[in-house]
Chains A and B, each alone.
Chain A
Amino acid sequence: MIPAIALVLGVVLGLVLNPTVPTGLQPYLPIAVVAALDALFGAVRAQLDGIFDDRVFVVSFVSNVLVAALVVFLGDQLGVGGQLSTGVVVVLGIRIFTNAAAIRRHLFHA
């Protein structure tokens, strides 16, 4: 319950405060969100598997976001930022789908 409330609180705060993102950071924000989503789904699956560990979650969350942003940043410097963003989204998307499927099997046994 507490994690869900924390997540919703964050979303509402973000929408209400609506801070201006520096132009330089704007391309990386959506990628960071997808990376964070990946870490979140991984955490839910680990929780259901009974092996959740808060330290692992925080480390994977932070490193996921940073690495995803870094890869896109590098791509931008090399002129392939758009393609690399697509690559990152595809890889993270596949992981999110796989984890979501595992979560579904846990919850519905189907």
Chain B
Amino acid sequence: MVEPRGPARRPDGSMSLLVDMSAAALDPSYAEVAERRARGELPPARGRFHGRVVAALVAAGLATGIAAAQVRRDAEVADDVRRSLVADVERRTQATDALADRAADLRSEVSAVRAAALGADAAGQALAERVALLELVTGTVPVRGPGLRVSLDDAEEGAGTEPGDGRVFDRDVQDVVNALWAAGAEAIAINGQRLTSRTAIRSAGEAVLVDLRPLAPPYRLEAVGDVDAMEPAFVDSPTARRFQTWTSLYGLGFDVQRAEELRLPAAPEPVSRVAVPLTPSGGGT
């Protein structure tokens, strides 16, 4: 065995930092000066509280007060900013709602004027019917009629063996929508968002987006169509069977109900930026 050399290791060697911190909590200079005073190297202490001590104390109090006031003021500023942002959001939401109302009014006005203009002769009437059909299938007018209500919901926390087993993803919603179209649905809306040929169903993070608007589960899909044909076709579809399996496996929420009367809202007006219609004179449709 090799004898340790040098000063013996302190038993608390690895903790020396913490020990030193508490041992030297009082500035060692106090003890040093007191010792030198006792040895007579320094003159004895004068009056107990010198002016500079008082000045230092006032400074310490001042710093404390200013810091406290600063913290309070910062909190107030943050609060003001948050309140003004909330007010901003509310104002903008109201403005958007008002504009949407106006757009709906104008749209019905346009329809009325168009009907009046086209109603004059047979060709006009045929055109008006075509327009009405196109409006229906492109989702630019609200529709009503019998249909199916399909609701999808995430399972309770902790279902399944892997994370995500009990969750409804964008592709699940897409599957169900496609199965509904295949079963003969004529118009579909998800949580009040009408689907058109240009509506995207995708996800961002954990949220499912329909037409770029995040939706929260449960997802309520409403499909208008011929119920008697649609219900058996949908319930027998591979998608619906798969969901029924998942319901028993993971507790996923999946429910199909008939509805006598569904009312689906209109989708936002589709905007064509590049494509222009072929005119009859330019080649016909």
Contact = CB atoms under 8 A, between A and B. Distances in A.
A33 B22 CA distance: 20
A21 B62 CA distance: 12
B34 A51 contact: yes
B25 A95 contact: yes
Contacts of B48: 52, 54
A73 interface: no
A9 B53 contact: no
Interface in B41-79: 45-46, 48-50, 52-54, 56-71, 73
Contacts of B122: none
Contacts of A2: 49, 54
Given A3-B49, A13-B65, A98-B22, A29 B70 contact: yes
Contacts, number: 143
B33 interface: yes
B21 A94 contact: yes
A110 interface: no
B56 A61 contact: yes
Interface string A3-21: 1001111111111111101
Given A10-B57, A14-B69, A56 B63 contact: no
B62 A10 contact: yes
A101 B18 CA distance: 16
A15 B64 CA distance: 9
Contacts of B62: 10-11, 13-14
Given A9-B61, A94-B21, A3 B67 contact: no
Contacts of A12: 61, 65
B27 interface: yes
A102 B26 contact: yes
A58 interface: yes
B47 to A, nearest CB: 9
A65 B56 CA distance: 11
A66 interface: no
A21 B66 contact: yes
B25 A6 contact: no
Interface string B73-101: 10000000000000000000000000000
Nearest to A52: B30
A50 B48 CA distance: 11
Nearest to B36: A53
Contact of A7 (B33, B45, B58): B58
Contacts of A16: 65
A13 to B, nearest CB: 6
16 contacts: A3-B49, A6-B57, A6-B58, A7-B57, A10-B63, A13-B61, A15-B68, A21-B70, A29-B70, A30-B71, A52-B48, A60-B29, A91-B21, A94-B18, A94-B22, A98-B22
Interface of B: 18, 21-22, 25-27, 29-31, 33-34, 45-46, 48-50, 52-54, 56-71, 73
